[in-house]
Amino acid sequence: MTEIELDSPTSVRQGEELDINQLNTFLQSQIADFEPIVEISQFPGGYSNLTYFLKSASAEYVLRRPPFGAKDIKGGHDMGREYKILSALKGIGFSKIPNPIIFTEDESIIGCPFYIMERVQGIILRAFHAPKLMNTVSVEQMKSLSEALCDNLADLHTIDIEATGLINIGKPEGYIQRQVEGWHKRYLASQTDEIKAMDDLANWLKTNLPSEGKPTLIHNDYKYDNVVLDSQTLSIKALLDWEMTTVGDPMMDLGTALSYWAEANDGPFEKGFNLTWLGGNLTRQEFADRYAARSGRDVSNILYFYVFGLFKNSVVIQQIYGRYKKGLTKDERFADLIKGVMALSYKGVKSIEKGRI
């Protein structure tokens, strides 16, 4: 897949600059013999946390910070939590992560808490790569990639959260109900428009709460563009963006993954999430069935978890749009995101009516 370039940073967006001198002063005071950062650029993808590329004379790092205006979002964009989870995974020998370097809550350095990790070089498949991949990657290759992504999720759910102590990063009991109620509250707090489908989904999710399965570690943002692939073998080198990782019913993780998993007949907004609609990729149901075979878990109620994923994604988009409407970010990519809230919530309602994902 040499026609897909390595994930590359670009110039920092106006208004989102970092103070390189303050950053170097902090790092050199905390890490012995730390080479000063000589270059800062920004990874342009993503709609949530801001991600920067830092380069010293002989090393490369990634800095993650919350978006501007994130203080308005209770419980979101917790850099300390993400750093803690990466450190815990490193401690148990889980290799498919970037190596965490340092975290600080000191807002005097760049204006907010942040953490730094080592950069993992490789290919990240983003939605905008789809037209190029359509003509250059075989159906068989895409099928293998999607199968590997499914298998990796099932394998992640086999980590022994009790033996490793990772069970302490969350409260698995009552997780599903707390998530449904919590995301509904976040929606109401960030709501800008009346959208009937969002109200219908919230009511349906509360009315049809399922019993909970045995908890596992769950990533909560599992999709192609959070996976780094080896540029030669296309094997999975690292899984990124652990901010929302916790412990709970793994079906919630599967449902969220499927809510990103666009198919050929889906609308343009859904296809903008992921390139899973390209020929060769598993369908959502095939992904669920393969996960069931790999994990041994019952996926007969996958519709509930898929609809929850659509609802959660709608709320995340609403929160971003709400920040834009308040003028807390000037990123013009956010101007029409309310259409995404409508598209995903409508898809959730239609999925319930049809009884399938």
pLDDT in tens, 47-105: 568 999 999 999 999 999 988 765 555 445 588 888 989 998 998 889 899 999 999 99
With 90 as the cut, is the pLDDT of residue 113 above it? yes
Q: Which residues contact 203 (CB under 8 A, 6 or more apart)?
A: none
| Pair 284, 306: CB distance under 8 Å | yes
pLDDT at position 6 is: 61
DSSP string, 14-78: TT----HHHHHHHHHHHSTTPPPP-EEEE----SSSEEEEEE-SS-EEEEEEPPTTGGGSTT---
Residue 351 host element (H or E):
helix 338-354
Q: Which fold has domain 127-354?
A: Aminoglycoside 3'-phosphotransferase; Chain: A, domain 2 (3.90.1200)
The whole-number average pLDDT for the span 293-298 is 97
pLDDT at position 27 is: 97
Most distant CA pair in the chain, distance:
61
With 90 as the cut, is the pLDDT of residue 199 above it? yes
Mean pLDDT of the chain: 91
The whole-number average pLDDT for the span 187-194 is 95
- Provide CATH 3.30.200.20 ranges for the chain: 20-118
| Pair 306, 259: CB distance under 8 Å | yes
With 80 as the cut, is the pLDDT of residue 107 above it? yes
CATH 3.30.200.20 assigned to domain 20-118? The reply is yes
Q: Which of 316, 315, 301, 317 is nearest to 357 (CA)?
A: 301
- Provide CATH 3.90.1200.10 ranges for the chain: 127-354
Instruction: Say what percent of the chain tops pLDDT 90.
Output: 73
Compute CA distances 275 → 112, 225, 268, whole Å: 33, 9, 11
For residue range 219-232, list pLDDT tens digits in order: 999 999 999 998 88
Label residue 357 by pLDDT band (50, 70, 90): very high
Is 158 or 333 the better-scoring residue by pLDDT?
158
pLDDT at position 161 is: 93
pLDDT at position 151 is: 97
Is 189 or 328 the better-scoring residue by pLDDT?
189
pLDDT at position 74 is: 47
The whole-number average pLDDT for the span 281-300 is 98
With 60 as the cut, is the pLDDT of residue 46 above it? no
For residue range 256-273, list pLDDT tens digits in order: 999 999 999 999 999 988
Is 73 or 26 the better-scoring residue by pLDDT?
26
| Pair 304, 208: CB distance under 8 Å | yes
Residues 61 and 295: their CA atoms lie apart, in Å, by 35
The whole-number average pLDDT for the span 326-355 is 92
Amino acid (one-letter) located at 276? T
